[in-house]
Amino acid sequence: MATKRTLIGTILMATLSSLGIGLAPTAQAAQTPCDAKARACLQLHTNRAWLMNNGSVTRGAVPVTVGRPGDETPTGTFRVQYKDKNFYSTEYNGPMPYSVFFTNTGVAFHEGSLRVQSHGCVHLSHADAVAFFQYLHPGDVVEVKS
């Protein structure tokens, strides 16, 4: 019976991994700089972000690109304001797919280049942007640490 359970667990983990869903042990949550109340955690100096549930990491750390000098991503505790799957920035004349806005000044997690810094937003890979978009909801806490 233990072999069957091990096989089922292995298949489950492989399936979740292939869908881009990572399961991390609770011990990893201690490696994030954020409080247990955060649903999304961002650390600017490491260019890493996490999705969390009651202090446990559910996805991450994932690579991100943040604001360039003069357009820095703000630090602090925020709440998700709204989401827009197909947002287009008229200010910067470009698409921002899978946007999750968490400040009242237009800063969002969204799909974008992991090589080019933003005007303050948090760029994610396509798979990570989709995951953040699906996981986060208005009112969820986002912590941004330096």
Catalytic residues: 110, 121
CA torsion sign for 53, 59, 121, 134 is: negative
Record the tokens describing residue 116, joined without a space: 């080019």
DSSP secondary-structure letter at 117?
-
Q: Which two tokens stand for residue 58?
A: 């559910």
- Report, in this order, helix, strand and coil percent for the chain, each rounded to 5: 25, 35, 40
For residue 7, what is the enclosing H or E element? helix 2-18
* Contact criterion met (CB below 8 Å) for 74 and 144: yes
Q: Decide if 98 contacts 50 (C-beta within 8 A).
A: no
**Residue 105 structure tokens:** 């000044």
